[in-house]
Amino acid sequence: MFDSFCPDKTISGVYDLDFESLYDSGIRGLTFDIDNTLVPDGAPADEKASALFCRLKDIGFKCCLISNNSKDRVESFAKAVGADYLFKTSKPSQKGFAQAMEIMNTSLKDTVHFGDQLFTDVWGANRAGMTVYLVAPLDTSHEPFWIRVKRVLEKFVFFVLRLSKGRLKRDRRI
């Protein structure tokens, strides 16, 4: 029942990840949620995010931002980091994930999604058949009320997944 909410891996953050090893393993496309995955909720792209996307391009990755946010929010962030983007994707719909792979000319086998929410990022990427890394949220203190409610529900799902041996692969607890 909870398989759709099980990420392939959980990580503490994207900034210290060994992307070179990911590339060496055959991954060519990376999709990212923005808020609380790359920057705190609502924050503009910062030097750290810009440096990350510059590094990813140097390695050889194609990158696309996938967000449920407005065009203004996503477009300004994407321009600042130099990435392709999709806005108002209605995650967990699988449509945005498929569109991102089409934009990047990648496939399910060579694309990974990074996001901080079970009910949008993990569920949506799993529905699309993608590999998905669940990222520990950067800062939940300024999230809207409805996202804070979802975080409580996520804790219940984490509890159930951890009860099932081997169901939640992780680098660290979230």
pLDDT of residue 151: 63
What does each of the 174 residues of the chain score in pLDDT, given as a tens digit?
Answer: 566 777 888 888 999 899 999 999 999 999 999 988 999 988 999 999 999 999 999 999 999 999 999 999 999 999 999 999 999 998 888 899 999 999 999 999 999 999 998 778 998 999 999 999 989 886 666 666 666 666 666 666 666 665 565 555 444 333
Give buried/exposed letters for 113-138 (b at 16+ CB in 10 A, else e): bbbbbbbbbbbbbbebebbbbbbbbb
Q: Is residue 155 part of a domain?
A: yes
CA distances from 55 to 16, 50, 59 (A): 12, 9, 6
CATH of the domain at 52: 3.40.50.1000
pTM of this structure: 0.81
**Are 121 and 134 contacting, i.e. CB atoms less than 8 angstroms apart?**
yes
**Are 131 and 169 contacting, i.e. CB atoms less than 8 angstroms apart?**
no
pLDDT of residue 34: 95
Give buried/exposed letters for 66-78 (b at 16+ CB in 10 A, else e): bbbbeeebbeebb
pLDDT of residue 50: 96
Q: Is residue 41 part of a domain?
A: yes
pLDDT of residue 51: 96
To the nearest 10 degrees (0 to 180), the angle between helices 71-81 and 47-59 is 60
Q: How do 29-32 and 62-66 pair as beta strands?
A: parallel
Q: Is residue 173 part of a domain?
A: no
Q: Is residue 102 part of a domain?
A: yes
User: Into how many domains does the chain fold?
Assistant: 1
